[in-house]
């Protein structure tokens, strides 16, 4: 049975890889030169085709129109989709929608799933997630100023957020706000609340320019204000005081998604690097590939990518069988390890391409700019390294508190 399941997965991966290479690679030049918005009509048609072919929303269960893959299975799909900047959007499993849909699936009420999850699953709307605040360290998610106070059967939400990714064009936000400021423990203070973006008082101040790119639609990072936004208390996700726990539950699978997407980027960059080395002549009859330093970059990249994949898939297996909490150390390890592999592989690929590598004639420059954040978002490298080191040192009788 396991062999049959693996064979089905490999068939699925091959089909998705063909779609990415034949349908998306040709669109990347327009995406890089003209932006995401100009491709929306084309991508809408292609998304309808993906849905008709039964490849839609691989992370969601069949009753929501998805393929019902396990995290381990979806991780491998995420790698294939990561080979193109457009891959995850085409299959309706892009961040932050994928994390929000998982939260709604696990903790949403029936009414919340009907109103927000179903249209999200159908690809009719997009969403965003508002947690990080410019006034506080993003590495300390229990330190928030955004509040949601009770007023009758409503919440009144006030606060200032930024890096609210994909807020531009989103239909709703899931917001982390303090609802129980006097809770005995800091991680019990905040809750997660659904806020439709047409709510009076919800305001996008700007799309933050990232490495010179303001972005648009789902490729954007907004600064957002909540100015006495009134929403019903029925918009609460889970229970009051569970915001931090839900964020951790959301981020666990999210880190698997990201890491496998990064490995997909690495594979594409690796292929571009090898093709360039194998065809670029430094002088008549002398290929770039003949240089030992280039050969070493190729060998080192291959080893690091292979190691990354094995580590991430092992973490995904553990999460599937034992849950996010049991795999928390493995998740921290892959988060900083793969982010650094991504950085090194992209840097080598750009160097091999020379001046071409810093143009937008290939996706390398786009990834180099946009994925530098991989070592920062979802927990900076230094925080994850400390988590791992504390866990190891406990085995030697040393208990280092946060």
Helix (H, G, I), strand (E, B) or coil at 88: helix
CATH architecture of 245-394: Up-down Bundle (1.20)
β-pair type (172-178, 202-207): unpaired
Residue 104's nearest CA partner among 93, 94, 95, 115 is 115
- Number of Cβ within 10 Å of residue 22's Cβ equals 9
Please check whether the domain covering 2-121 is classified as CATH 1.10.540.10.
yes
List helix spans (H) across 82-234: 87-90, 97-107, 110-112, 118-121
Domain with CATH 1.10.540.10 in the chain: 2-121
Instruction: Taking each helix axis as running N to C, give the angle between helix 71-81 and helix 243-279, from 0 to 180 degrees, rounded to the nearest 10.
Output: 40
Q: Give CA–CA dist 210/170, Å, rounded.
A: 19
Q: Give CA–CA dist 279/282, Å, rounded.
A: 10
CA neighbours within 13 Å on the CB side: how many for 125? 18
* pLDDT in 10s for each residue of the chain, 402 residues: 567 778 999 999 999 999 999 999 999 999 999 999 999 999 999 999 999 999 999 999 999 999 999 999 999 999 999 999 999 999 999 999 999 999 999 999 999 999 999 999 999 999 999 999 999 988 888 899 999 999 999 999 999 999 999 999 999 999 999 999 999 898 999 999 999 999 999 999 999 999 988 988 888 999 999 999 999 999 999 999 999 999 988 888 999 999 999 999 999 999 999 999 999 999 999 999 999 999 999 999 999 999 999 999 999 999 999 988 899 999 999 999 999 999 999 999 999 999 999 999 999 999 999 999 999 998 999 999 999 999 999 999 998 875
Between CA 138 and CA 145, with CA 139 as vertex, the angle to 5 degrees is 45
Which CATH code for domain 127-237?
2.40.110.10
135 DSSP 8-state letter = T
Residue 13's nearest CA partner among 89, 59, 81 is 81
Radius of gyration of the chain (CA): 22
Domain with CATH 2.40.110.10 in the chain: 127-237
What are 150's two structure tokens?
């009770």
Q: Give CA–CA dist 116/150, Å, rounded.
A: 23
Q: What is the pLDDT of residue 2?
A: 62
Contact predicate 92/221, CB 8 Å: no
Reported pTM? 0.95
Q: What is the pLDDT of residue 10?
A: 96
Q: Give CA–CA dist 241/192, Å, rounded.
A: 8
Residue written as token pair 């840097």: 347
Q: Give CA–CA dist 346/365, Å, rounded.
A: 9
β-pair type (236-237, 147-151): unpaired
Burial class from Cβ neighbours inside 10 Å (0-12, 13-18, 19+) for residue 169 reads middle
Task: Give 207's strand partners.
Answer: 222
How would you label 191-226 residue by residue, b for 16+ Cβ within 10 Å and e otherwise? bbbbbebebeebebeebbebeebebebbbbbbbbbb
Q: What is the pLDDT of residue 215?
A: 86
Say which residues have a Cβ less than 8 Å from residue 368's Cβ, sequence separation at least 6. 346, 347, 350
Domain with CATH 1.20.140.10 in the chain: 245-394
């Amino acid at each position: 049975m396991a062999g049959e399941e693996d064979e089905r997965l490999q068939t699925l991966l091959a089909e998705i890889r063909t779609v990415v290479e034949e349908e998306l690679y040709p669109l990347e030049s327009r995406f890089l030169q003209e932006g995401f918005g100009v491709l929306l009509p084309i991508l809408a048609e292609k998304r309808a085709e993906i849905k008709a072919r039964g490849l839609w929303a691989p992370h969601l269960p069949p009753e929501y129109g998805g393929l019902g893959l396990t995290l381990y299975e979806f991780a491998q799909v995420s790698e294939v989709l990561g080979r193109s900047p457009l891959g995850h959007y085409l299959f309706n499993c892009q961040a932050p929608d994928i994390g929000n849909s998982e939260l709604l699936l696990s903790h949403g009420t029936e009414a919340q799933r009907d109103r927000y999850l179903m249209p999200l699953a159908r690809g009719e709307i997009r969403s965003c997630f508002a947690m990080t605040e410019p006034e506080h360290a993003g590495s300390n998610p229990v330190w928030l100023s955004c509040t949601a106070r009770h007023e009758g059967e409503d919440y009144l939400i006030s606060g200032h957020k930024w890096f609210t990714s994909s807020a531009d064009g989103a239909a709703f936000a899931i917001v982390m706000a303090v609802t129980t400021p006097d809770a005995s423990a800091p991680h019990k203070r905040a809750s997660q609340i659904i806020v439709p973006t047409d709510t009076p008082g919800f305001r996008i101040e700007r799309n933050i320019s990232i490495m010179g790119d303001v972005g648009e639609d789902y490729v954007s990072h907004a600064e957002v204000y909540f100015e006495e936004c009134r929403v019903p208390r029925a918009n609460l996700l889970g229970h009051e005081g569970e915001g931090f726990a839900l964020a951790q539950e959301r981020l666990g699978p999210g880190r698997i998604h990201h890491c496998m997407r990064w490995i997909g980027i690495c594979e594409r960059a690796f292929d571009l690097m090898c093709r360039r080395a194998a065809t670029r002549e430094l002088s008549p009859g002398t290929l770039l590939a003949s240089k030992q330093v280039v050969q070493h970059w190729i060998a080192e990249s291959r080893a690091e990518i292979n190691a990354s994949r094995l580590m991430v898939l092992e973490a995904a297996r553990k999460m599937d069988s034992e849950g996010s909490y049991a795999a928390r150390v493995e998740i921290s390890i892959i988060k900083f390890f793969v982010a650094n592999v991504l950085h090194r592989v992209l840097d080598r690929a750009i160097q091999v391409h020379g001046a071409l590598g810093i143009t937008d004639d290939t996706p390398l420059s786009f990834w180099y700019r946009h994925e530098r954040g991989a070592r920062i978002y979802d927990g900076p490298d230094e925080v994850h390294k400390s988590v791992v080191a504390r866990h190891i040192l406990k085995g030697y009788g040393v208990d280092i508190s946060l």
